Amino acid sequence: MIRLIDFFAAFFGLLFLWPVLLIVTIIGMFDTGAPIFVQTRVGRNKKPFKLIKFRTMSVETKSVASHLASNASITKLGNFLRKTKIDELPQLINVVKGEMSLVGPRPNLFNQEELIKERDALGVYNVLPGVTGLAQVQNIDMSTPKLLAEIDKQMIDTLSLKNYFKYILMTVTGSGSGDAVK
């Protein structure tokens, strides 16, 4: 049921939001020269997939978790995209492809070994990663691996249609600030 909702919500989201996606892409060309950011992340069953986002940091920024990146790396456009969460919109493509859900644990990088260990122990990788979830709306980011894994597990165990829509609504209305940056 949730997969159907994911697919149709993401499909229609892309259909209706394409002007926003196009405008941000064009403005991003002037901001960084490379407005689309693609990064290999850990997916369901620890299978790698290519996460698609709008670039919010300079092109030279090292590929690390956001909380390990320097605040100076964030561009002016990137700051706006992060605050409004518009940087996440291209992930609707990942949702349509079945690599992600709208709601689930945020996908981490393969070099985040401590987080992988904590999530693996709790079975967090048994579900699709998500664009948003309980940890995001509670401002829990990847800098606290054990707590994040526990909150992810709690979300998985209590996920209902009501909570699914609750997390999406909370995200759209501004709850959660995303991953912290130094």
Residue type for position 136: Q
Q: How many other C-beta atoms are found inside a 10 Å radius of the C-beta of residue 113?
A: 11
pLDDT for res 115: 96
How would you write the pLDDT of the chain (182 residues) with one tens digit per residue?
899 999 999 999 999 999 999 999 999 999 989 999 999 999 999 999 999 999 998 887 766 566 555 677 888 999 999 888 899 999 999 999 999 999 999 999 999 999 999 999 999 999 999 999 999 999 998 889 999 999 999 999 999 999 999 999 998 887 765 554 44
pLDDT for res 14: 97
pTM summary value: 0.89
Burial of 17 (0-12, 13-18, 19+ CB in 10 A): middle
Residue type for position 78: G
Residue type for position 155: M
